[in-house]
Structure 1
């Protein structure tokens, strides 16, 4: 689970910039979040084994409003991916609405081996686009692109609201930064600040 700020990074065709949760299930994965840009890495029209239970919340919807740096309150949404105890299906819960699921039969493995939270960009053959809100993080929730209240559930369905066995990673620290805070002064649990101007 995560609560993620809704941002509007600047991108040009064929770039994209995203913020997402990535759940690795053996050789397969589930990924969900938001993407800015018309040439996305995800084909929201391709069913690829996902089954919808809510037609009023289609994949690829425009998410509004978005955060404006320094505004209050921060605009965010809760996203959960969870495995059904009864049948092993993987469900997508968006903003307290269960909207889709991936059947257990879609996966060779029945459990997740890794989870990632954060931003991702694609730039093709041009300077890289913005990530998050386009600024380097400053550890201020109202100023930064953030992911908070990250939570995992283990194979015994025990909830871990602190997820303290994580590591931060950025493959381009000149254009983007990530800061992790396990003991934030803000009442948001484990928080990740991320983003940057790119342009490298």
Structure 2
């Protein structure tokens, strides 16, 4: 495809097929994880396999597009919560939104930390997500709402860990993650606690 062809606006039928494809891919990845095949996605969308590759040259590009939509959603949530009156509640609500997304989308963690991790769009989305997480953490930290030695990276890893802890039982206890989020957040607010070991240790 030439640069001039790439710059042309999509025809209405192409826009429709792309929309069906993205919706089908998002649902398939969320339900089955990143291992779902392009053929399965195409069948679910009611389009040909070739149409998938006309819109997304590789499966990794398609995965990245879906994951980046989720990342952008979380970034928007975080930016809104930076205006929350209570910094601690803003951070807790953000963590809740992030963990809940993971429980509903099996591919999210798989892709961010696996198959499409090095995709340029995913890397950019990760940078934006890291930045808003650090901003929310810093705001809560400066207000005294959480321990002074907690970083945005700590929060990012905790959000993933909370999901991973609850994941084996989510099929029968879909809200179990909330228990571990409460435990983690209570620990983040601990007072008179020993300093955390250095993150490099």
Both proteins in one fold, TM over 0.5: no
Tell me which structure has the larger Cα radius of gyration: 2
Which of the pair has the greater relative contact order for Cα pairs under 8 Å at 6+ separation? 1
Q: Select the structure that is richer in strand.
A: 1
Give TM-score, length-normalised by structure 1: 0.30
Greater helix fraction, Structure 1 or Structure 2 = 2
